[in-house]
Chains A and B, each alone.
Chain A
Amino acid sequence: DTQMTQSPSTLSASVGDRVTITCRASQTIGYWLAWYQQKPGKAPKLLIYKTSSLESGVPSRFSGSGSGTEFTLTISSLQPDDFATYYCQQYNNYFTFGQGTKLEIK
């Protein structure tokens, strides 16, 4: 199994901050990584696929980078709507998710 580890588990930030979430894979997954945003009581929403490709309709303040085993999701300037939980997902070897990063208002 390919395990995905996100850090931090919780992140406190303010509107306008630049934040970065890291996702590490237990083995190389190439560029086969996606990021999702989930709000309480809602389904996950796809933000980024293939490491850095922005899903249609997703604001450009979201960006992704990385390769192999280490990946990052960056939000360049936090907006009130961005406070949520973020998950990475690898799809190189079956499909596994990270444990999530909860982005809280400081």
Chain B
Amino acid sequence: QITLKESGPTLVKPTQTLTLTCTFSGFSLTTNGVSVGWVRKPPGKALECLALIYWDDDKRYSPSLRSRVTITKDTSKDQVVLIMTNMDPMDTGTYYCAVSTRGYFGSWGQGTQVTVSS
């Protein structure tokens, strides 16, 4: 059974850096074709894919957020970490991690709410 769970701060101040961790089980990020991505949903807005990391350490970033986002993995801990710099109130929303094998996201974490406010 595949599970993913997001963890990190629920409140960050503007200009601060956000670090979120996705801890997963039921699959390996060393398996050919597997990737884990971060998707967020701001209130009242659409889903947005922020970044994706592949089994071979290849990475893909949202073109609009590339300068602010970094994704890494620790296969020994079955974790994927998202770092987002210079947080703004517009970054408020629910952040999900999800696993993908062919580009679509088959399993998702429960999501973690992040509020950006002073």
Interface residues of A, Cβ cutoff 8 Å to B: 1, 32, 34, 36, 38, 43-46, 49-50, 55, 87, 89, 91-92, 94-100
Query: Can you list 27 A-B contacts (CB < 8 A)?
Result: A32-B103, A36-B47, A36-B105, A38-B47, A43-B96, A44-B39, A44-B98, A46-B106, A49-B102, A49-B104, A50-B102, A50-B104, A55-B106, A87-B46, A87-B47, A89-B47, A89-B105, A91-B102, A91-B104, A92-B103, A95-B37, A95-B52, A95-B60, A95-B103, A97-B48, A97-B49, A99-B45
Smallest CB gap from A94: residue in B: B60
Inter-chain CB contacts under 8 Å: number = 59
Against A, the Cβ 8 Å flags (1 = close, 0 = not) of B38-60 are: 01000001111100100000001
* A91 lies within 8 A of B46 (CB): no
* A46 lies within 8 A of B110 (CB): no
Min CB distance B58 to A, Å, is 13
Interface residues of B, CB < 8 Å — how many?
Answer: 23
Min CB distance A99 to B, Å, is 4
With A89-B47, A91-B103, A94-B49 given, is the CB distance from A43 to B108 under 8 Å? yes
What 9 new A-B contacts, CB under 8 Å, besides A34-B104, A87-B47?
A: A43-B108, A44-B47, A44-B98, A49-B104, A94-B60, A95-B37, A97-B47, A97-B48, A98-B46
- The distance in angstroms between the C-alpha atoms of A21 and B111, with both chains bound, is 26
